């Protein structure tokens, strides 16, 4: 079992979905969790208490609008003062589907800011400290859409392809930092396919409407187009993979984009 006692993890977008599942997996391994996301005080308190119940010695909320580089700088400075991050998970993301010709300019800007530029800013702040300590893990939650394209998702696909490329550059720049004994510094992407999260809700609802509102049929129809396994992933499965990547045994796993997509990108 991976032990992360004494480590601090910042997981962006960790108040729900994949981000929360990753935070829970890291908490169970003993990491302190810097929680981030869009939530009210009650939800924040519930998430932090839940992470401590899972095993985190401490869980604290840090705010910051990822569309604003100055707020990201403040976020990273606050987490640094708290003693981290040893582990950075860039999970926060937004999505909007529309044909390229109809995609609002402001939507393009927002999706690129949150899904790509924010990761650049957080990595730029976190990686030097990881290198100095000889241990660090950056896990960027990309998407199957960082490996293959789909219609009506121009900004999302552009951002996720960019995130994979950014991660590979960072992996090369930091590959020799640290050692096998210290665990090294690695940068990887996880690329989920259809996963049971809120971000796919609008697409599921639109497809379910074609079947009289039957959600199960809507999901099955979506899966039949793309995901050969015909099964969605659960966020906890992404959490388990993220935890494994934090293990010192994964010191030579860097610069990868690991699909969890039921064979989607193998086609």
Q: Mark whether 156 is an active-site residue.
A: yes
State the DSSP string of 140-166.
Answer: EE--GGGTS--TT-HHHHHHHHHHHHH
Judge contact between 82 and 36, C-beta under 8 A.
no
Beta-bridge mates of residue 260: 192
Question: What ranges in the chain are assigned the alpha helix state H?
Answer: 17-28, 41-54, 69-82, 105-112, 118-133, 154-174, 201-209, 215-226, 235-246
Q: Tabulate helix, strand, coil % of the chain (nearest 5).
A: 50, 15, 35
Q: Choosing from 135, 156, 174, 194, which is the catalytic residue?
A: 156
CA-CA distance, 151 to 188, in Å (whole number)?
26
How many other CB atoms sit within 10 Å of the CB of residue 37?
Answer: 24
Phi, psi (degrees; rounded to nearest 5) at 185: -120, 120
Structure tokens at 202: 């609008």
Is 185 strand, coil or helix?
Answer: strand
Whose tokens are 């789909």? That residue is: 150
CA-CA distance, 221 to 117, in Å (whole number)?
33
Judge contact between 254 and 231, C-beta under 8 A.
no
Structure tokens at 177: 């930092």
Catalytic sites, residue numbers: 156
């Amino acid at each position: 079992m991976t032990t992360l006692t004494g480590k601090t993890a910042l997981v962006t977008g960790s108040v729900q979905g994949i981000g929360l599942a990753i935070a829970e997996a890291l908490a169970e391994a003993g990491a302190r969790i810097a929680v981030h996301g869009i939530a009210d005080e009650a939800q924040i308190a519930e998430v932090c208490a839940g992470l401590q119940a899972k095993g985190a010695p401490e869980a604290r909320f840090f705010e910051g609008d990822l569309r604003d580089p100055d707020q990201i700088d403040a976020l990273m400075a606050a987490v640094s003062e708290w003693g981290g991050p040893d582990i950075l998970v860039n999970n926060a993301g937004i999505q909007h589907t529309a044909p390229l010709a109809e995609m609002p300019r402001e939507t393009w800007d927002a999706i690129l800011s949150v899904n790509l530029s924010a990761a650049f800013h957080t990595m730029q702040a976190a990686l030097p400290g990881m290198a100095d300590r000889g241990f660090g893990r950056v896990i960027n939650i990309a998407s199957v859409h960082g490996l293959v394209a789909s219609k009506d998702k121009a900004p999302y696909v552009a951002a996720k392809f960019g995130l994979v490329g950014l991660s590979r550059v960072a992996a090369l720049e930091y590959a020799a930092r640290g050692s096998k004994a210290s665990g090294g510094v690695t940068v990887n992407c996880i690329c989920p396919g259809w996963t049971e999260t809120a971000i796919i809700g609008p697409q599921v609802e639109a497809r379910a409407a074609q079947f009289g509102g039957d959600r199960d049929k809507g999901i099955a129809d979506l899966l039949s187009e793309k995901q050969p396994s015909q099964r969605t992933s659960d966020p906890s499965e992404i959490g388990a993979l993220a935890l494994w990547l934090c293990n010192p045994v994964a010191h030579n796993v860097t610069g990868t984009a690991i699909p969890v997509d039921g064979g989607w990108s193998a086609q």
